[in-house]
Amino acid sequence: MRIKSIPILLFLLALLVTTASFGQVRDRQQLPSRSKPGQARPQTNQQQQPNRNQQQQQQDTTRAKRPGSILDDTTKALYGPKTTLQLYENDVLEGRHREQRIDTTIQNIQNQRYWFQDTAFYQHLGNIGTASQPLLYKLPTRIGVRLGKNAFDRYAYNPDNINYFDTRSPYSHLYYVQGQRGEQIFEAIYARNITKRFNFGVAYQIIGADKQIGSTNLRDDGLIDNQAVKAFTHYRSEKDRYNLFANYTHLNHEQIETGGVKPGEGDTPDSLFRYENDLVYLSQAATTEMRHNYHLLHMLKIAGENLKAYHRFDWRSQNTTYEDNDLPVDENGALDFYPRAIYSNARTKDKTEYHEFENEFGLTGNTKISYYKAYIKQRNGKLNYSAIETINPDTTAVGRIVSGAVTENQVFVGGQVRLNYLDKYLLFGEGEYQLVDNYRLHAAARFKGLELSQTRIRQSPTLVEQSYLSNHFEWNNDFKTTITDQSRATLRLQFSDRLHLRLSGAYTNISRLIVYGFDAEPMQISANQQLLEAQFVNHLRFGGFHFENFINYTNTDKATAICVPEWLVNSKLYYQGHIFKKALYGQLGVEMYLPKGYYADAYMPVTQQFYLQNDLLTKTYPVFDVFLTADIKTVNVFVKMAHANYDLWEPGYFETPGYPGLRRSFTFGVKWMFFD
């Protein structure tokens, strides 16, 4: 995959035009004390980094000793990370108007999980940008009508979690990653304050990858072509009585489908790692997904922070096309890979078009020790299916379009309440009820380092689970709601600056779970599914040496329909400080990723769903990455040898049945930040 130079050049040209068109109105002075950064925002991954703020301070101290920001005639730093702040809309809604410094650390910049919008552990199809699902069990959070196609969520900007900026000078960054096997990521962000209370920004992202299996060895033998855009703005009135947050996000994602490695006669699991020379099931299949989302949140103070009225609006669309112009057949002429062909034996072109409209109105308020929110919400979701039917089953000429539609209109009421004291003690409760079926209840308490929570969710099936129409699958189900109960306890401990610990455990009981069965069609499990989870996270430091561990244990003896590795270990040992005779500041280390072998879900590209299988048990196989990261003024760079142990004692491993993990790859990345 090669980077799309024309879109990038147009984007950069737009940045230059914008810079020339608007004057920066902020005074060239240091920030007032009210703008001190708050606590670090929680990340979405399971492995938190407790030393991130300390590393930020350490790197800022290092930068202060050398030029790294825009200087005036007295060589005093004017613009830099301390004058470029970011904030999140929910913090403002909840009365925590805390502006944080942008992330300039080199922590995890080399880690592939941190290249995307969600940094959790994921099962995927062996390369970046491919269809994926969470590797560990994830508690559902959304009730009511939902589409149910989430394979590419990880690569799309999340409109509810956009970081808005407050800048003293124009801020931009360029981020680029290139791997030896064709892995490629590019992101450009530009943000500036038009006035003191009005900020605007835009970002453009590209993700690309080349085929690793069934390749034709052509120069542009692409597997993934992802382009994403976000445009965002924040306005606040004088005295902060009115705040408005708005953003637009777009995703255009194409994945070339191979169906995975096709075993030949006499093949064993260990003989299927021929990569480019492997046979694959599909030769002319592709999935294309297009998303648009318009998001608005604005709020008005009626009685200061004690009472605010707010309105949240979302309009989103998600359109997916699956196309195969050469349906595979076996040596006997029978259909291969697909379970059946309903409307055509020669070609497939299936479409799903989903549109969702949501309005939420509410009241909220907060004091130093409390917060509350009450709201009413209306959501309308509509799904259209279509598939082509050829004039003759064995020809490609289209005779008619077979279609279907599902529409849902729903109303929700909900609220939140929080009591806290000195950020050490907290009581929290929230609930949402969809008239007259779904509900979500959550309660939590924190006593210093100990956190306890209880959650109960009653959730209806997704639209895709209820009905589907395509050339290869067709179903109409009458599933009951799924009920999930989870109890969780977490203990956080810190021993000076040398040791951070996090211990957690959870018990989850799921009644009437819906999964995609061995035939790749949805099914509802009558027996309760019960999971036991335990997690250990630590960060140990001795001088400049750091040792980080994430260990997750999941017992699924009573949850046979949930396929996750029993053990998952991610460990990192590195030295951080001045290296190469103090030539640069950075990290030098090694990282290991090790899931225990398990019956990983298979993937069906027609429906974009992972489904149960019992044919392949993945190996208990460690993947080692050796890396070097560096902080050079306003540039963060890394080089790493990914999967350094490839072919040393095993020929390879499977991420998903039929999809081998990436081979050894030399990877380079750079993040270049500009503050004027």
For 301, 327, 351, 395, 407, the CA distances from 398, given in Å and listed in that order, are 58, 15, 15, 8, 27
**What is the average pLDDT across 44-56?**
48
Q: What is the mean pLDDT of the chain?
A: 88
For 379, 384, 460, 474, the CA distances from 481, given in Å and listed in that order, are 18, 23, 4, 21
pLDDT at 16: 47
Q: Is the pLDDT of residue 26 over 50?
A: no
Residue by residue, DSSP assigns 101-158 as: E-----TTTT-GGGGSS--S-EEESSSTTS-EEESS-------S------TTGGGS--
Q: Looking at per-residue confidence, does 115 or 218 come out higher? A: 115
pLDDT at 47: 45
Q: Is the pLDDT of residue 38 over 80?
A: no
**What is the average pLDDT across 319-330?**
95
Q: Which residues contact 649 (CB under 8 A, 6 or more apart)?
A: none
Q: Is the pLDDT of residue 197 over 70?
A: yes
Q: Is the pLDDT of residue 23 over 60?
A: no
Tell me which residue range forms the domain holding 124: 5-674
Which run of H or of E encompasses 53? helix 52-64
Cα separation of the two ends of the chain: 33
Maximum pairwise Cα distance, the chain: 82
pLDDT at 77: 57
pLDDT at 24: 45
What are the pLDDT digits (tens) for 253-273? Answer: 999 999 999 998 888 888 899
In the block, residue with structure tokens 């800022």:
60
Q: Is the pLDDT of residue 116 over 70?
A: yes
Q: Is the pLDDT of residue 9 over 60?
A: no
Strands 522-524 and 514-516 come out as antiparallel
In the block, residue with structure tokens 């805390």:
98
**Integer Cα distance of 75 and 72 in angstroms:** 5
Contact 152, 253 (CB under 8 A): yes
pLDDT at 45: 45
pLDDT at 76: 56
216 C-beta neighbours (distance < 10 Å), count: 9
Q: pLDDT category, 8, cuts 50, 70, 90? A: low
Q: Which residues contact 134 (CB under 8 A, 6 or more apart)?
A: 120, 121, 122, 123
What are the pLDDT digits (tens) for 403-461? Answer: 999 999 999 999 999 999 887 899 999 999 999 889 999 999 999 999 999 999 999 99
Strands 474-476 and 439-447 come out as unpaired
Number of domains in the chain: 1
Radius of gyration of the chain (CA): 26
What are the pLDDT digits (tens) for 224-254? Answer: 999 999 999 999 998 889 999 999 999 999 9
Contact 430, 421 (CB under 8 A): no
Sign of the CA dihedral running 515, 519, 521, 523: negative
pLDDT at 68: 40
Strands 584-595 and 529-542 come out as unpaired
**Integer Cα distance of 384 and 365 in angstroms:** 40
Note the residue count of the chain.
676
Which pair of tokens denotes residue 282?
């599909």
pLDDT at 497: 86
Q: Is the pLDDT of residue 392 over 90?
A: no
Q: Is the pLDDT of residue 65 over 80?
A: no
**Integer Cα distance of 319 and 385 in angstroms:** 10
pLDDT at 58: 53
Q: pLDDT category, 50, cuts 50, 70, 90? A: very low
pLDDT at 502: 97
**Integer Cα distance of 46 and 109 in angstroms:** 17
CATH number for the domain spanning 477: value is 2.40.170.20
- 374, β-bridge pairs: 363, 415
Peptide bond into 413 cis (omega under 30): no
pLDDT at 539: 96
What are the pLDDT digits (tens) for 462-518? Answer: 999 999 999 999 999 999 999 999 999 999 999 988 999 999 999 999 999 999 999
Whole-model pTM: value is 0.88
Amino acid found at 237:
S
